[in-house]
Amino acid sequence: MATISILKLSQLEGQKRIDAECYQPEYIKAENKVRTKHHTKLKNIITVLTDYHANGSYELLRKNVELLDNPDYALMIRTVDFERDDFENDVKYISKHAYVFLKKTQLYGKEIIINKIGKPGSVYIVPPLNKKISLGMNQFMIRPIENINAGYLYVYMICLYGSSLLKQKVTGAVPLSIDKNSVRSVTIPILEESFQNKIDHILNQHFTFKSNSKYLYSQAESLLLKELGFKDFKPKYDLSYTANLSDALGVHRVDAEYFQPAYANLIRKMKGRIVLKPLRKFILSIQKGIEVGSDNYEEEGKPFIRVSNLSINGFTGRDQKYISEGLYQQLKTTYEPKEGDFLLTKDATPGIAYIVKEPVEGIISSGILKLKINDNEIDKEYLVLCINSLVGKMQIERDSGGSVIIHWKLEQIKRLEIPILPSQTQQKIALLVQQSHKARKKAKELLEIAKRAVEIAIEKNEKEALDYISKSENK
């Protein structure tokens, strides 16, 4: 059914746009609701709105900035890092010289980041990482004025009203984008300072629980590696080596990467001390996801969960695709992940393992496997950690192949060597992982409370929003 919005010319308010997309009913409704409160434009409450290219010309940036894979002076924070909520693995670094050169976009924590393209209008906040950080490309960075709380401003911009008004500013076809002037023109409600501070306090709690979650997970991983004898293990990759023809014929591989000695050394270091069993010993059944085809993608609907939407911490909204309600209903019996399901990626980024923690309405793609694990033989959380750890990653790195898209074959997955520690140790490790997930869940709940409280304050008033917070915290 078509939707219609009728506006007077005077209501365009200098938008400089007459396309219907800009005036969808949801955007108009959000704008009108925010305007019932004391409000202003974003440009009036910020001290900085900048981006990577504010530091100099393309030529100057090319000469002074090089992205590095290995740890160096500062982290170059990118959209993908925010989407994965991972600022340690597969990240980019820059040298001290580059960091100093990029002085206009140095980050210290609590800056608001807005995507320019890709997922334009998506909003993030720089967490307290206790390290030197520089802004990545294709992002805007915002710092508010002193009497506007950055935490409150962030929560507003990700809640129903702020996200709608940012989405309204997105223009273009391929790729979609948002510019500085459009960002500056977003309407912001100026709520009571005490309420802003309360929202910021909840956000700080959110960060604390997320930090605890990461600490507990690192403790679990450290304990696993210590018990396996890998506490200070750093794989050494040889530049040249030889392999027997019989070994190549046995695995049907002749590529040099497969026979890198570092992989064999990993297994050799465990053999004789640790019992190793192939993953197939614990699998009761395997269900591969399905490809629906890009023709079935919708702008809204039920999530089509691809490899990029799965991390060791759960589901992410990174470049999320959707399918229709009708197609979802057809596929959900077989391809919808249920609470407790063991998911494992096999393509693109193979070897991400995760146990579903809560009900999900969505369909998994063919790059994700749904495994049924024999709980009587091994603790599932322990198994997940083994696969996600160095022990699993190196084996997967050896096995997986492909030029454009990396694939991990089913027979290779079944052969993955799993170290079997005593049940008591498995449970101790699993408990740390479970506590990590509980802390992450609490962090997520706190952010949702803050978002809903801001929405209530806009829809009603700050007092009712604070009552909602109080009731939510006492549950």
Residues of the chain where predicted confidence (pLDDT) is lower than 50? 1-2
CA 189, 191, 195, 197 dihedral sign is: positive
The pairing of strands 74-77 and 133-135 is parallel
pLDDT of residue 17: 54
What CATH class does 286-393 carry?
Answer: alpha beta
Assess whether the region 38-183 and the region 286-393 belong to the same CATH fold: yes
Structural contact between residues 106 and 132, judged by C-beta atoms closer than 8 angstroms? yes
Spatial separation of the C-alpha atoms in residues 418 and 342, rounded to whole Å: 16
Which residue in 38, 50, 51, 33 sits closest to 159, CA to CA?
Answer: 33
For the stretch 180-200, pLDDT in tens is 999 999 999 999 999 999 999
Give the pLDDT score at 319. 83
Please choose, from the candidates 78, 108, 113, the residue with its C-alpha nearest in 3D space to the C-alpha of residue 93: 78
Write the CA distances from 471 to 320, 330, 449, 463, 466, integer angstroms: 33, 39, 10, 12, 9
Nearest to 399, CA basis, from 384, 414, 420: 414
Residues 92, 69: contact at Cβ < 8 Å? yes
Which residues in 235-264 are b (16+ Cβ under 10 Å) and which e? eeeeeeeebeeeeeeeeebeeeebbbeebe
10 Å Cβ neighbour count for 323? 20
Structure tokens of 27?
Answer: 């955007």
- Scored b (16 or more CB within 10 A) or e, 292-302 reads beeeeeeeebb
CA–CA separation, 196 and 469 (whole Å): 13
List the chain domain ranges.
38-183, 191-229+422-475, 286-393
Name the architecture of domain 38-183.
Answer: Alpha-Beta Complex (3.90)
**What pLDDT is stored for residue 1 in this prediction?**
47
3-state secondary structure of 223: helix
CB count within 10 Å of CB 85 equals 17
Task: Classify 289 as helix, strand or coil.
Answer: coil
